[in-house]
Amino acid sequence: MERSVRTDRVSGLPVTRHTNYRGHSHHFYFTNPGWIDEGRRLVFSSDRCDRTNLYTLTMESGEIEQLTDLEPVPLPRELEFVRATVNPRTDEVYFFSDRALMGLDPHTRALREVAELDPEYVVSQLNVTADGNRIVFSEHRDLSDEIETDFLRGYIGFAETWAARPHSRVTSAAVDGSGTRVEFEEDYWIGHANTSPTEAHLLTFCHEGPWDKVDHRIWGLDLRTGAAHMIRPTEPGEVVGHEYWYADGVHIGYHGKLADGRSIFGRCRADGSDRHEHAMSGTTGHTFSLDERIIVGDGGSVIRLWYWNGSSYDGPRVLCEHRSSSHIQQLHPHPRIDPSGSYVVFTSDMEGYGNVYTVPIPEDLASLPPVDR
């Protein structure tokens, strides 16, 4: 066990560090669930013994168990687990390794190849449909011979890839290993395929690139028909992003700015209807919530909360410091509220190396100190 607890010097809340190794550890991307065994364990990634592998953390005891022992893979198909995800029905963990989509049983450690990837394409975010039957991911034509790219470390080649408009597609793989199929494709860079946690036919994807340059960021896709639609169309001067699903699997949350410069939190249904946008203050960073009531973000140097007071969002208030460098994707805090709504998990290198932390969400949110920076 590597667990230790300290009192946050700003909020006074207990902050638990669950990992302590001279190498980076991190949880999954904030749109990708990592809990298994009905929330009793969390799957995370850690760099140990000059390799990157998957581990589980038992939340109650702090016990850490290694799941994989994998060989490193070089760019542009580097072995990393920022994009890994968990099957909501079986707890199987999925990740990319070289030209394969892999599945890992976290209970037996059995590893299998679910699907072979197209060598002409580079993969992005992946998620699993709500029925647990298909793994969905976005991919775009590999331009690494033309454009120097390293999106994990400094977004190198990010704007150039957007400008190139690579052929992209949303692809799904059958969990049973019976094959893949292209669900949608176009000549625009596609990223962040996020499946609804309750509706097996629904997912979102984004037009990837600088938020102020893409035509429209947030798109929806119906897997039954293959039809794509804009979810939150943007007018000139508007930007929105960091979209994610509410726990109900029907509503989508996001943040952004209006043309007049006002910052907003937004939510709407997957078809774009029932749209609500509210002014907010403070730096957001990545944001996440289970519903409209409490929103967590990692802007600046603190994990911050906003909460709905009945007419507007109060906050931001300090849940705890993170002071992460965010120098690489694996060190972005990427805060996420656990399914029970009781705590926030995040990653930080505030103590020198990336580690996995949790902090409880107090009942009295108004007691938290306001963010002053």
pLDDT of 154:
80
pLDDT of 22:
96
Q: Which residue, 86, 80, 244, is CA-closest to 151?
A: 80
pLDDT band at 373 (very low <50, low <70, confident <90, very high): low
Please write the tens of the pLDDT for every residue from 283-331. 999 999 999 999 999 999 999 999 999 999 999 999 999 999 999 999 9
Q: Which tokens in the block code for residue 150?
A: 């390293």
- Examine the pLDDT at 47 and tell me if it is beyond 70: yes
Please write the tens of the pLDDT for every residue from 4-35. 999 999 999 999 999 999 999 999 999 999 99
Please write the tens of the pLDDT for every residue from 80-112. 999 999 999 999 999 999 999 999 999 999 999
Q: How many CB atoms lie within 10 A of CB 307?
A: 18
Q: Cis bond leading into 76, ω under 30°? A: yes
Q: Which tokens in the block code for residue 42?
A: 């969390």
- 3-state SS record for the chain: CCCEEEECCCCCCEEEECCCCCCCEECCCCCCCCEECCCCEEEEEEEECCEEEEEEEECCCCCEEECCCCCCCCCCCCCCCCCCEECCCCCCEEEEECCEEEEECCCCCCEEEEEECCCCEEEEEEEECCCCCEEEEEEEECCCCCCCCECCCCCECHHHHHHHCCCEEEEEEECCCCCEEEEEEECCCEEEEEECCCCCCEEEEEECCCCCCCCCCEEEEECCCCEEEECCCCCCCCEEEEEEECCCCCEEEEEEECCCCCEEEEEEECCCCCCEEEECCCCCCCEECCCCCEEEECCCCEEEEEEECCCCEEEEEEEEECCCCCCCHHHCCCCEECCCCCEEEEEECCCCCCEEEEEECCCCHHHCCECCC
Q: Which tokens in the block code for residue 267?
A: 């939510």
Strand partners, 219: 205, 230
In the chain, where the domains are located: 73-281
| 73-281 placed in CATH 1.25.40.80 | no
- Examine the pLDDT at 138 and tell me if it is beyond 90: yes
